[in-house]
Amino acid sequence: MNGNNSELVPITKVPYNERIRRIIDEFSNEFGSPPAFIARVPGRVNLIGEHIDYCGYPVLPMALEQDILVAGSLIEEHKVYIRNANPKYESIEIEIKAYDDISINADKDGKPFWYNYVLCGIKGALEHINNEYSSGLKLYIDGNIPPASGLSSSSALVSAACLAFLYAQNATINKTDIASLCARCERYIGTQGGGMDQAIAFLAEKYCAQYITWNPLTATKVVLPEEASFVVAHSLAEINKAATNDYNRRVIECRLASKILALSADTTKDHSIITLSQVQKILDKTLADMVALVYEKLPKLVYTKEEVCKILNISEEEMDDLYLTQNTRHLTEFKLKQRALHVYEEASRVEEFRKTCMQSKKNGKTNGSINDKSGSTGDRNDILTTLGKLMSDSHESLKSLYECSHKNLDLLVDLSSKMNVHSRLTGAGWGGCIVALCPKEKVKDYIERMENEYYVEHCNIDKNKAKSYIFATTPNYGAVIYKNK
């Protein structure tokens, strides 16, 4: 595996805060002795670059303070005991022999059981170490990332389980390799995720967002302007992307669009070319050229399966086998133009966002560091406006071209915009959260007004409860192992 970060996941002493003390106590009560270690993996918020990681384009997320903790102890039995601090999540024990024996089944409505995410992590870890493991595990899990909110609670759970299992087996693995491994692990659940959530979970650093590229996986710090604050607000619409085919449908629409655009380079028979970024590279064009090419080669708003097969000169069976997933094989219509346009334009917005942050760094004040104060207020306001506009454009594109917004998300974005705050949906969409770029001096006022106007007035929620759904956040550090003895 490639990567620029050969550092190992840090192993440090247990920090004594309230949450850690509680998980150690609860683990001891449940299993009779304290845990040997705790794996901690953060959630994330993506600032810009949505639904483009699986197309091979860079994204720009940062880690949150909220996280998943997995406390663990080794046992001789070849079993894993899985417990959750939240009683609504049932306990489970599984026999472990080999990764092939671990099956990840959904419930009767096609929704994954909560512990499937833990099993995905363990299955991937076993595969990575070729089933050569010596001990079973007792695991106790506690999380404070709101589930189904687009803040990557599922990926943090998969990653924390995988990290815990590998650590328990003494397997050393660097940050980039475990990030790629965890991205593969999560695909056992059925969604073809791109890897952003796992990459930021392991490669995040305090005070900076990260510009993440693929093949090889690299993460480069992006220092955010000091006067910018990022506020996350929950729409109260929950989303579980593994429970529907909405996510995979977008993934395969992008694959089919890539195949058609690649026809210009006569590479149709090369089945390995399936991402929009691969096509851009082969054709040696700019992102703006690719947008023009989409209008030229994908003029229709809807393509039937039959039409796509005809254009690509393949049979429906070939199309199923080569490009579709289990849960998208029955689809008969695809929106290729809209999806490809979003991807190429969003990829440009990421570059623009990063460039603007670099510009801001050169001009003076940046988040989390002491700088000279050379930038004039006018320049600095322009920088926030440029970043904000990119975020608003991203939301508009996700709403109209990618069709992955939700009426609650749109309402949050509209309310923000009335307060002159730019925002966008973050994560997969179809529910979950928005992220808003708010000038620091306006944060208190913005949060207060959103609490009243969205949560209290629109959703009929008690003001105190509303406070738990909206928070300002700063970039946090990535995964770590706390050694307890």
Contact between 349 and ligand GLA per CB under 6 A: no
Residue 186 or residue 227: which is nearer to ligand GLA going by CB? 186
Contact between 346 and ligand GLA per CB under 6 A: no
Going 172 to 178 to 184 to 185, the CA torsion angle's sign is: positive
Give the DSSP H or E segment for 153: helix 153-168
User: In the block, which residue shows the tokens 């840090």?
Assistant: 10
| Interior angle at CA 484, CA 483 and CA 485, nearest 5 | 100
Q: What is the DSSP letter of 225?
A: B
Contact between 202 and ligand GLA per CB under 6 A: no
Contact between 432 and ligand GLA per CB under 6 A: no
Give the DSSP H or E segment for 88: none
Contact between 431 and ligand GLA per CB under 6 A: no
Print the binding letters for residues 144-173 with ligand GLA: x by CB under 6 A, - otherwise: --------x--x------------------
Contact between 201 and ligand GLA per CB under 6 A: no
Print the binding letters for residues 53-92 with ligand GLA: x by CB under 6 A, - otherwise: xx--------------------------------------
Contact between 119 and ligand GLA per CB under 6 A: no
Q: Can you name the residues that pair with 42 across neighbouring β-strands?
A: 67
ω into residue 216 within 30 of 0, thus cis?
yes
Q: CB-hemisphere CA count at 13 Å for 77?
A: 9
What's the min distance (Å) between Cβ of 143 and ligand GLA? 16
User: In the block, which residue shows the tokens 């475990």?
Assistant: 178
Binding window for ligand GLA (CB under 6 A); candidates: 68-76, 192-200, 259-267, 311-319? 192-200
Instruction: Collect all residues with Cβ–Cβ distance below 8 Å to 386 and sequence separation of at least 6.
Output: 352, 356
Using CB under 6 A, which residues numbered 30 to 49 contact ligand GLA?
Answer: 46
Q: How many residues bind ligand GLA (CB under 6 A)?
A: 14
What's the min distance (Å) between Cβ of 100 and ligand GLA? 25
Q: Pull the structure tokens for residue 453.
A: 């106007």
Out of 194, 225, 388, 439, which residue is the one contacting ligand GLA (CB under 6 A)? Answer: 194
Contact between 3 and ligand GLA per CB under 6 A: no
Active site positions, annotated: 197
Give the DSSP H or E segment for 233: strand 228-234
Q: What is the DSSP letter of 271?
A: T
What's the min distance (Å) between Cβ of 245 and ligand GLA? 14
Give the DSSP H or E segment for 318: helix 316-323
Contact between 196 and ligand GLA per CB under 6 A: yes
What's the min distance (Å) between Cβ of 432 and ligand GLA? 9
Q: Count the helix, strand and coil residues of the chain and give each as a percent rounded to the nearest 5.
A: 45, 20, 35
Out of 112, 146, 193, 431, which residue is the one contacting ligand GLA (CB under 6 A)? Answer: 193
What's the min distance (Å) between Cβ of 83 and ligand GLA? 26
Q: Can you name the residues that pair with 46 across neighbouring β-strands?
A: 61
Contact between 50 and ligand GLA per CB under 6 A: yes
- In angstroms, the Cα distances linking 256 to 163, 187, 276, 303, 324 are 35, 20, 9, 10, 9
What's the min distance (Å) between Cβ of 280 and ligand GLA? 18
Residue 78 or residue 187: which is nearer to ligand GLA going by CB? 187
Residue 26 or residue 410: which is nearer to ligand GLA going by CB? 410
What's the min distance (Å) between Cβ of 468 and ligand GLA? 22
Taking CB atoms within 8 Å and a gap of at least 24, the contacts of 264-273 are 264/293, 264/297, 268/312, 268/313, 271/322
Footprint of ligand GLA (CB under 6 A): 46, 50-51, 53-54, 152, 155, 193-197, 427-428
